[in-house]
Structure 1
Amino acid sequence: WAAEEYYEGAPLAQVLKSRSPLNTLQALELGIKISEALAHAHGKGVAHGLLTTESVSVLGSLAVKVADFQILYAMAPAGTRDARYCAPEILSGEAPSPQSDIFSLGVILYELMTGRRPFTAEQAMDIALDRNYEAPAAPADLNAHVPPLLNSVILKALKPRPASRYETASDLLSELLLCRSSIVRSLNRERFQEQSMALKPSIPPPARAADPPPPPPRDRDLSLDDLGKSLDLDGDMDTGQYRKRQIFAIAAVAILIATFAGIGGFLFRSCGGIRDNLGTGESGVVQVPNVVNLDETEAKFKLGHADLKTEIEKVYSADVPEGLVIRQDPPAGKKVKVGRTVKLIVSLGDQELVVRDLRKMPLREAEQLAKDMGFRVEVEREYSESVALDHVVDQLPKPGEKSSAGKLIKLFVSNGPEPREIDMPDLIGKNINDVHRILAENGIPYGDIKSVPTNAYDVGVVVSQSILPGTRVNTKSMGDVQIFVAEPAAGGAGGVSPDDDPFYDGDNAADSKLKKKNMNVTVTQDGSEVVVEVVDRNGRSEAYRGRHNGGETVPLSLEGRGDVFVKVFINGRLEQQVKF
């Protein structure tokens, strides 16, 4: 069981049966009171869950009580809830939220203004299941007394997607208060005109064949006085007293008209008849209002109220719900001439795109193609044994799936094979094309290829490498291996003489002479392996190999025939080259 406050009042459903539809101002006042109650509850973190005309009671002076917060929702099985007032997400099984309450209030506002609900129970279920959604008839089409702004406010509250409705009940309340102010201003203008007409002398109308048809009925005697009375509206003030007040009011109006006519004529002559708009202080100039994030209809109404025209351009947007203004030009706050056109960029909502296959493409090409399709791109690196370095391994969304323009597409890009420890392969004597393949297969990084002039090797063959073959290396931390490739060497001016060719295989006497050299190698790191390689006319040979600690000096006695080149490797890396 549950206990609630006792109060005297009639359910809104009963009031609507006996008096539906109410006049516009009465109906709007009830909607404002319900919005105030919801805004207060939402501020405390409480959503109603199942707001209907049965859970709203009307007291005297148009006061309302909103009851059954969470009670009807919790106690009523899903199949027994009144679907005509339920937001689509509630019918789909989601928990109540401020947006679901705003939808239910939109249904009540629609019913207050038109005397009927926007959806049948069957239509409500179709909306919840994303089947055959058809927007309800505009309230203004069913009740000519509903002004454009109020019409758009109600339709926005009834949007099927929660993100397209008002974000909070306070936002909806602000719009309803603006609608009430607009209606009150309109009523005051009408009454002023009627009282002004009563002061004019009665002039017999010219003879005519027949009387014109009577004017359309007014909005059931739309009256500001109704706001201060209870719903029975039976009380009337004393007729004689009312008559005296009416005569006094007419006389006062006459004096005001005469006074303002004189002042107005003076101002019109002084200012050339040009008015100052929206408090800008400049004649014929208005300040552009902010309409970003408003519904297109609301934006047009707001700009039209400021004497500005509109031009609409619609674009797809993954971030802004359909029908809302994304941006405006001129921007809000800018002063422009009356009648200026404001361009509005309005969202068409998400645009579904079919994702292309970007796998195995080079990263730069795949990125550009994804951006051309309208996606944002995020790159994540991973190792791959089968996909080349800097090529796309995989992607999300997958090829053929649908996504929206502006959404993120994630590219998984190859970093090459996973790092591992290997023995440095012997590349000397191999063609450079084969060397590229060997290095790629083993995940060995390498820098620029350097050329060595020599006639001892064919062009394009590797003659030297900066890491000694057989050295144990980690492919991630080893750094680049330096590769030296043979290029033609010609004797004479500008060429390379046989004496400067470390690989020259000559047979003259000078080349056969044995040469000797003593040198020292200093070690800086404990446990370092020192390997010394000699290249002379007889080819390549290992002259020394040993391990030493930091600070030790290794004495070397070296010899060779012809031009002798000495290469010193420490821990597999070329550290020193000497020619003698």
Structure 2
Amino acid sequence: MAKQILAERYELIERIGDGGMAAVYRAHDQLLDRYVAVKILHPQFANDEEFIVRFKKEAQGAAKLSHVNIVNIYDVGEWEGKHFIVMEYVEGETLKNKIQREGQLSIRDVLDISGQICEALEHAHSHNLIHCDIKPHNILLKPNGQVKVADFGIARAASSSTMTYSGNVVGSVHYISPEQAQGNAITPKSDIYSLGVVIYEMLTGQVPFKGENVVSIALKHLQEMPAPIHELRPDVPPVVEAIVLKAMEKDPAKRFSSTQMILDIHKAQKMLFSEDEAADDPYATKILPRGQINELAAAERVPTTAGHSENSFLKSKKFIAILIVILLLGFLTGAFLSFGKFWSNAQVVVPNVVGQSQEAAKNILTSKNLRVQVTENYDADVPEGFVISQTPAAGETVKEDRLVTIYVSKGGEKISVPDVTGLTKEEAANQLSKAGLKVGDISEEFSDKPAGTVLRQSPNAGDKLEKGKSVDLIVSKGQEVKKSGVPDVIGDSLGSAKEIIQKMGFSVGSVTEQESDRPSGTVLSQSPQPASEAAEKSAINLVVAKQRTVKNSTKEPEPNNGSAGKDLSVGKKSN
């Protein structure tokens, strides 16, 4: 359907995804001049009235959601028998792609991604909408780290990766909750279980339950406990493993609500990473550990009478004053780090370093008495080592020593080229598109393979290629047909003509007769014509002479009416 106009508004540009229920296209909204993603229902569901009603109702429900971590739905409709949903186009990759590429994700990334997914679920659950199919394939990751949850409230079509009961699709089998596997009522806690499975996969690089078929996997969700995360990955902190275990409780009543899970994720982040960040920044605001407070108290304590406890100093005005001073110093140094010299009136206009090399950008910024922090991102449009963007933006006026973050390109993201040999051109294009690549030049050559089959590819399978780049294909034209010159048998007898034709590697096709004055059986004409070229072993059709049929005729005698010998001419009378 690429290059078609849908609903007289959406120009379909390229197919970017395909599933059991629908195909997804990148499209241009000609009315609002923006790129969108258009999901078009597969034709086999077009006549399923119950499915269409549910499709529209749930899509309209999802359209009511508005959250930074949810893919926005813009439009739902039907055009020329095609049911479609128009949604926000998100550049980036799926969480599944990231897991497949990196295997086990860092603890920091796992908590960050999980927290954003949970924020999206909390918003949806507060609007009485349950996702029903949380899995890494439906989680989109933007290059800046923002998470977008897709496919809210859309029932999934039956396939090898889904479970169906009474015609109702209830989720992808590796990620479904026990109540979904039993065909019971689905609640917001079902989404929490699926999220627990996703976190398990991010931490370990594998799903918790595997089996030979969907039924065996579903039974494991009901009856078995997954392999402990710490056995598969010893560096996972107990607090993180505890979050996964609670999310994956068999009993929905024992699981988190989305709000509770957000709080526990934030607690884990503070417990694991707040001290690391403070250690990296000697000027940042810090919480003074209890041990250091006690040391300060002991150093400042004066002799007291025997009845006073150590806590008396901790409650004294002197201790409170010391603590306030320490916290104030921390605040001031933190402010200095973030916004420059807190007490200074000296200001600097931030220079523009976008497009500069990393070293050049650092030199320019430090020469203006600004500090530099470097963050690396993939960007195929900016050469590796050069600045993509900056914060604060160029032209802003800030205080001296302000921290400026520059985002430096790591070049285009490298992708492992899939093996598309043996596939048809269409199948190869689909596989490459799914991998983030596209088809380049296509050349053809003769082979024993069916016409249209991919014989070779460049780059080869397994090679690393920048995302969005092209893979050239060599495609079969089918077997080569050898041709020979057609012999001239016109004028030969039929027997002689047949012998010549067969000796030349051809076969005799149809033989038809035509009346002629030539001797019977003489070849009058042939097809293909003499001296032309035809495929070897192809048939030559002949037309041969047939004796004319002679009709018998007798001449009837003229009637004798007594006028024979007489001059029948009439003379002119003379006056």
| Pair in the same fold by TM > 0.5 | no
TM-score by length of structure 2 reads: 0.33
TM-score by length of structure 1 reads: 0.33
Q: Which structure's CA Rg is the greater one?
A: 1
